[in-house]
Structure 1
């Protein structure tokens, strides 16, 4: 199945430096570049990993064609592909955990 880029759901995932350990602040920028390069986005979406320095901003932000989606709208979009948003986010968290391990082993 082919989807135009402007129809893909985009997940901006803000990663807290603390996820990378006590010296995470020293690694977060480089890790986000690593994650953007090594974590493959699904055919229906695009992942963008950024540092999360401001905890008042949501950790995850979904959008389509530069329009932010509410959680209910993101859930409905993913449901169109028979994807449960909670399972989707859990799988992505697991991918991030593996990416952190790979990042520090390289």
Structure 2
């Protein structure tokens, strides 16, 4: 099933510099560019990885067509594709860990 980009769920994932170790602040911008290039988005969504400098902002922000979704709305959207949001987020976290390992091995 083909979904137009404006109908896809967009996940803005703000990555903590600390995830990259004690000198993560020196790598976070480059790592996010790396992650955006190497972590493939699913057919129903778009991933965007950004540094998380502001702790006031959520680590994950879902949206569709530039409209932010609550966690309940995001869960309902993913349920439409028979996807459990908790499993989805857990798998994405695992992809992020693998991307961090790949980033430092380049």
- The two structures have a TM-score, normalised by structure 2, of 1.00
Deviation sequence 1:22-74 (CA, Å, 0-9, x none): 00000000000000000000000000000000101000000000000000000
Return 5+ residue gaps in structure 2 as ranges. none
Name the structure 1 match of 2:27.
27
Matched position secondary structure for 1:46: strand
How many Å apart are 1:5 and its aligned residue? 0.5
How many Å apart are 1:78 and its aligned residue? 0.1
What CA distance in whole angstroms lies between the structure 1 residues aligned with 2:11 and 2:57?
14
Name the structure 1 match of 2:91.
91
Name the structure 2 match of 1:43.
43
Return 5+ residue gaps in structure 1 as ranges. none
What CA distance in whole angstroms lies between the structure 2 residues aligned with 1:71 and 1:4?
22
**After TM superposition, what 4+ stretches of structure 1 lie above 2 angstroms from structure 2?**
none
- The two structures have a TM-score, normalised by structure 1, of 1.00
Name the structure 1 match of 2:55.
55
What CA distance in whole angstroms lies between the structure 2 residues aligned with 1:43 and 1:26?
32
How many residue pairs end up in the alignment?
Answer: 106
